[in-house]
A and B are shown apart, each in its own frame.
Chain A
């Protein structure tokens, strides 16, 4: 296969941990994409829930136990993964897009535009990310789209700063200068010449920030400000289970927590490996 002949791809798969990360991530993604195929129960379908199953322990009829309404935790996790992954990936794509534009423009043109964009970024970074997201969610209310936007607003800064930094060094290189001498205008130079050169660090940050976005969503949902209760994500599942955690019904909180942890670890493993293989200075 041509994909595996690529130098970077081949090198990526040399690391066993990274391969494990990829497998876990693909498995979770598959669960998230087709929960109805795999899950024993549809947790949204009230007809499938029976109160007699309330708080059934794990490893019995319900592999990971059931919550107070008799909902299968395993099924809830699969459906919850879907929301978590959607929020993580959608907000990352959006914030990469916005961050890249902001970073390119501010790095390339400099001057007053640079000052404005970067000061906004600085102000935002001086608040903890969770606080910024909390404020936005408190103002707008709950909703999956709203949380995506809130996380985008928190995360674009990281891409913008990285992009700006790389643009500052790339635009001084001769190829940018010679593109200018070949008569290209600023937009063409930015998009066609400089952009391909700054993608490597952006991709690396993006993989790490996906994990971050998922955690942020889980945190917000845990605090009751994230996704609505009708569309539970991993965070709201943990939060739900937490209410009865000390009554001995530990499985409602722990299993979604473990899945969240595995998901984040798998993404971080992929991100770490990507950082290694995409950094030319670490090339053997």
Chain B
């Protein structure tokens, strides 16, 4: 399989008044054509910022300070705004968390879809764009797509809106789709439908998918590869099977232990003690050390990333 995207030592920092926030700190990963990569972690772990960094959509005071994002031999971290805007929505699309918000409330969804097509392919005629939009709506399972073209976002349900958003993201057949918690705003039954749809469509289009989520169950179902993020860094990165069924990093272990299990009788669900430290006041050494049951003197230094049984992991206790 050919490599689609390689992120190397990416650092996105926010120079705030209170100090330097290293929202994404030295992360590396890669994704092959047609592959699905899951990025999991708690809120504030830097998952979304990673997603935004990939298409260089970081607003001031944030900035990609170091590293490279190689996408088909181009480094997105150092591309001009012009070239970037051609890639965004064309070769790389992004789906946002809340479908209620990511559609323009005063424009019909048909017009929004058509605009997405014609914006990137100015030579496409209105009729062709219209046809393509209807096709896309049909593909994402929108009933009566032609009729729906004239609907405004508020006339659709949340699940339908997310389908429209997916249609919009895929309409230009992107090579890479970044989905930032695409199902968080939806209820569980719709969630499964939407996820299945995304998986199916990316396979049909031959696109790669980066799925950003805090829901490890979603990742387990969908992804080929998993990156677990904690406080701006990737702590464990490997194939789905390796990471989920044989987690090495204590944080990954904790996350998996948190999941409710139906085959065990338990009075209380497990929870990782403490909360994630503020990015402005990170502990010395390993960021997870103050919540980690295994932490000791050794952990006063941030651990090296080592390769172990096919995955990358950063922990002193794993050998």
- Does B57 count as interface, using CB distance less than 8 angstroms? yes
By the criterion CB–CB under 8 Å, are B96 and A182 in contact? no
Cβ-closest chain B residue relative to A172:
B59
By the criterion CB–CB under 8 Å, are A175 and B93 in contact? no
By the criterion CB–CB under 8 Å, are A183 and B87 in contact? yes
List B contacts of A192 (CB < 8 A). 107, 115
List B contacts of A199 (CB < 8 A). 106
By the criterion CB–CB under 8 Å, are A181 and B89 in contact? yes
The A interface is mostly helix, strand or loop, or mixed, namely helix
- Does B104 count as interface, using CB distance less than 8 angstroms? yes
Which B28-81 residues sit within 8 Å CB-CB of chain A? 55, 57
Cβ-closest chain B residue relative to A192:
B115
List A contacts of B90 (CB < 8 A). 183
- Does A60 count as interface, using CB distance less than 8 angstroms? no
By the criterion CB–CB under 8 Å, are B106 and A196 in contact? yes
By the criterion CB–CB under 8 Å, are A174 and B102 in contact? yes
List A contacts of B203 (CB < 8 A). none
In whole Å, how far is A283's beta carbon from the nearest beta carbon of chain B? 11
A175 vs B115: C-alpha distance in the bound complex, in angstroms? 14
- How big is the A interface, by class? 10 to 19
Which B144-175 residues sit within 8 Å CB-CB of chain A? 165, 168-169
Cβ-closest chain A residue relative to B81:
A185
- Does B103 count as interface, using CB distance less than 8 angstroms? yes
- Does B132 count as interface, using CB distance less than 8 angstroms? no
List A contacts of B88 (CB < 8 A). 180-183
- Does A68 count as interface, using CB distance less than 8 angstroms? no
A174 vs B120: C-alpha distance in the bound complex, in angstroms? 20
CB within 8 A of B106: which of A179, A180, A183, A197? A197
In whole Å, how far is A195's beta carbon from the nearest beta carbon of chain B? 9
Known: A177-B96, A181-B88, A184-B85. A193 touches B104 (CB 8 A): yes
Interface string of A181-212 (1 = CB under 8 A from B): 11111001000110011010000000000000
CB within 8 A of B98: which of A174, A182, A188, A197? A174
Cβ-closest chain A residue relative to B98:
A174
A42 vs B8: C-alpha distance in the bound complex, in angstroms? 82
- Does B101 count as interface, using CB distance less than 8 angstroms? yes
Known: A174-B96, A178-B94. A183 touches B104 (CB 8 A): no
Please name 7 further chain A to chain B contacts, defined as beta carbons within 8 Å, in addition to the given A181-B88, A184-B85, sorted by A numbering.
A174-B96, A174-B102, A175-B105, A178-B94, A181-B89, A182-B89, A183-B120
Residues of B within 8 A of A (CB): 55, 57, 84-90, 93-94, 96-98, 101-107, 115-116, 119-120, 165, 168-169
* 20 CB < 8 A contacts A-B: A174-B96, A174-B98, A175-B102, A175-B104, A177-B96, A178-B96, A180-B57, A181-B55, A181-B57, A181-B88, A181-B89, A182-B93, A182-B116, A183-B87, A183-B90, A183-B120, A192-B115, A197-B104, A197-B106, A199-B106
Residues of A within 8 A of B (CB): 173-175, 177-185, 188, 192-193, 196-197, 199
